[in-house]
């Protein structure tokens, strides 16, 4: 009876109908993934399709069927080698994809002209947690590092549950804010914030000055309610806001075009909703100062790769729980945040992981060619680099379809800095996955 069941299952598993169903399912899944990636972004497509268990199950049953069919139809016979080659090609491609997915890694390497680097940021984002506490009279640390794929269009729930000695703790997901931008929520028990809009660098930027702190915007210091020599000092603690600058300037009130001068080192009333021109920077204070707390809202742009995301977590331990917001994204290290919950101290950060190459790359020159008569329309961009590996050195020219292939690493020209003084190279460390897949294609 067992042999009959196995025989029936084998017939179903290696049937032509099942293969047809797998191919149809695969085609539909790829079409869905392409649509989702176009509407949202790559991470959303990975969560919903490419990294989903059912998509991996399709790949798994493909592999079983290809291997099973070789034996079932005796494809190893000489007269069937053409069909055997087709089956082996799919097997190699699937094995290569498995290695690429689970063993290899890729990322981005930014380099400025004249500088060298042997580090690149992972294409995946990670949640890293350091848990510090006392164990047998000594301070010890426990570490968690988990890859995360998050999207506001999917269910992102996760939780980390563990123990430090006998103390239980839990870190759980609360919210994910894509393309997070700051806003101040009014809170009478909060800190004084003063919104400033400045246009340094040729674009509009919103900032929130925080009472007691100093900020640097385009090499100009701004201080709120804390006198700092050499800074533009704003004070809101009197009857009306004042300004004191280390250099002369002017302002224009927008409502009636009233113009005035800003005297150097003199305390003067701050004119609200007036355009100030000081130290080469133009700025406006559009709203009165307010007491509040920082919160984040999404810019709603799934394609935005330059703005940090915000991951909101709830940390529980020893009967206490606290909320923490982590800023980070692909292509940069997250900003560490530390909180103490119960008897344990947690340091958390969200962002890319840094990998190191066994050699360094120096950017000698970055060249961006523009279409005639245009300012921001680029026809091509390329990087002239020098590779240093111990005593060995050689020059290389990286540009579109001209890849640096060295010691299992592949470097592609991916992007560049706005001032055209730095390059961003896409790094792929997938020697075995790439070659096994290429064998399958061949």
DSSP string, 387-402: EEETTEEEEEEEBTTB
* Residue pointed to by tokens 């344990």: 344
Is the separation of the CB atoms in 182 and 208 below 8 Å? Answer: yes
2: CB partners within 8 A, 6+ apart: none
* Residue pointed to by tokens 């897949």: 437
* Residue pointed to by tokens 């809202």: 297
Q: Which of 132-136, 360-364, 369-373, 399-403 has the highest mean pLDDT?
A: 360-364
pLDDT tens sequence across 400-429: 889 999 999 999 999 998 889 999 999 999
- The DSSP line for 331-344 is TSPPPPEEEEETTE
- Give the pLDDT confidence score for residue 145 in this predicted structure: 94
Q: Please check the confidence at residue 263 and state whether its pLDDT lies above 70.
A: yes
pLDDT tens sequence across 271-308: 999 999 998 889 999 999 999 988 898 988 998 877 89
CA distance 158 to 313: 10
Radius of gyration of the chain (CA): 29
- Section 87-114 average pLDDT: 91
Confidence of residue 14 (pLDDT cuts 50, 70, 90): low
The 8 Å CB, 24+ separation contacts for 136-141 are: 140/164
- Give the pLDDT confidence score for residue 109 in this predicted structure: 95
Confidence of residue 202 (pLDDT cuts 50, 70, 90): low
Confidence of residue 340 (pLDDT cuts 50, 70, 90): very high
The residues that bridge with 310 in the sheet, in sequence order, are: 177, 327
CA distance 140 to 14: 54
Q: Please check the confidence at residue 8 and state whether its pLDDT lies above 50.
A: no
Give burial (CB, 10 Å; 0-12/13-18/19+) of 426: middle
Buried b (16+ CB within 10 A) or exposed e, 166-191: ebebebebeebbbbbeeebeeeeeeb
| Range with lowest mean pLDDT among 135-149, 286-300, 369-383, 399-413 | 369-383
Confidence of residue 201 (pLDDT cuts 50, 70, 90): low
Q: Please check the confidence at residue 132 and state whether its pLDDT lies above 80.
A: yes
Q: What value does the mean pLDDT of the chain take? A: 90
* Residue pointed to by tokens 């070789």: 70
Confidence of residue 100 (pLDDT cuts 50, 70, 90): confident
343: CB partners within 8 A, 6+ apart: 133, 134, 167, 317, 318
The residues that bridge with 168 in the sheet, in sequence order, are: 163
| Range with lowest mean pLDDT among 7-21, 32-46, 139-153, 286-300 | 7-21
Q: Which phi-psi region, left, alpha or beta, contains residue 305 (left: φ > 0; alpha: ψ -120 to 50)?
A: alpha
pLDDT tens sequence across 32-68: 999 999 999 999 999 999 999 999 999 998 888 888 8
pLDDT tens sequence across 78-95: 898 898 998 899 999 999
Q: Please check the confidence at residue 17 and state whether its pLDDT lies above 90.
A: no
Confidence of residue 309 (pLDDT cuts 50, 70, 90): very high
Q: Calculate what percentage of the chain has a pLDDT beyond 90.
A: 67
Cα dihedral 143, 148, 152, 156 sign: negative
Confidence of residue 354 (pLDDT cuts 50, 70, 90): very high
- Give the pLDDT confidence score for residue 18 in this predicted structure: 79
Confidence of residue 2 (pLDDT cuts 50, 70, 90): low
- Section 306-335 average pLDDT: 92
pLDDT tens sequence across 217-240: 888 999 999 999 999 999 999 889
- Give the pLDDT confidence score for residue 306 in this predicted structure: 78
- Give the pLDDT confidence score for residue 36 in this predicted structure: 95
Give burial (CB, 10 Å; 0-12/13-18/19+) of 436: buried
């Amino acid at each position: 009876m067992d042999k009959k069941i196995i025989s029936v299952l084998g017939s179903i598993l290696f049937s032509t109908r099942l293969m047809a169903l797998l191919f149809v399912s695969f085609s539909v899944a790829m079409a869905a993934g392409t649509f989702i990636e176009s509407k949202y972004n790559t991470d959303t497509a990975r969560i919903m399709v490419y990294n989903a268990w059912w998509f991996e199950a399709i790949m798994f049953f493909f592999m079983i069927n290809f291997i099973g069919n070789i034996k079932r139809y005796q494809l190893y016979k000489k007269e069937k080698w053409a069909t055997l080659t087709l089956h082996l090609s799919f097997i190699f491609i699937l094995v290569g994809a498995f290695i690429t997915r689970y063993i290899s890694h890729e990322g981005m390497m930014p380099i400025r002209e004249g500088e060298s680097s042997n580090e690149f940021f992972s294409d995946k984002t990670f949640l890293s947690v350091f848990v510090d506490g006392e164990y047998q009279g000594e301070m010890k640390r426990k570490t968690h590092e988990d890859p995360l794929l998050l999207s506001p269009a999917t269910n992102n729930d996760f939780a980390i549950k563990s123990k430090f000695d006998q103390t239980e703790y839990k870190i759980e997901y609360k919210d994910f804010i894509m393309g997070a931008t700051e806003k101040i929520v009014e809170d009478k028990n909060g800190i004084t914030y003063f919104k400033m809009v400045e246009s340094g660098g040729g674009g509009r930027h919103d900032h929130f000055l925080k009472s007691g702190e100093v900020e640097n915007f385009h090499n100009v210091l701004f201080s709120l309610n804390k006198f700092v020599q050499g800074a533009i000092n704003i004070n809101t603690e009197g009857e009306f806001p004042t300004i004191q600058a280390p250099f002369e300037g002017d302002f224009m009130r927008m409502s009636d075009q009233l113009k005035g001068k800003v005297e150097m080192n003199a305390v003067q009333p701050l004119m609200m909703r007036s355009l100030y021109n000081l130290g080469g920077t133009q700025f406006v204070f559009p709203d009165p100062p307010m007491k509040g707390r920082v919160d984040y809202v999404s810019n709603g742009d799934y394609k935005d790769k330059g703005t940090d995301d915000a991951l909101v977590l709830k940390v529980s331990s020893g009967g206490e729980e606290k909320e923490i917001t982590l800023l980070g994204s692909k292509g940069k290290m997250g900003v560490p945040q530390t909180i103490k919950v119960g008897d344990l101290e947690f340091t958390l950060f969200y962002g890319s992981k840094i990998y190191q190459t066994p050699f360094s790359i120096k950017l000698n020159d970055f060249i961006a060619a523009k279409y005639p008569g245009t300012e921001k329309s680029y026809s091509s961009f390329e990087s002239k680099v020098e590779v240093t590996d111990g005593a060995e050195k050689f020059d290389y020219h990286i540009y579109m379809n001209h890849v640096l292939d060295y010691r299992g690493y592949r470097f592609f020209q991916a992007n560049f800095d706005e001032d055209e003084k730095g390059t961003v190279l896409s790094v792929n460390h997938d020697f075995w996955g790439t070659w096994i897949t290429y064998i399958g294609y061949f």
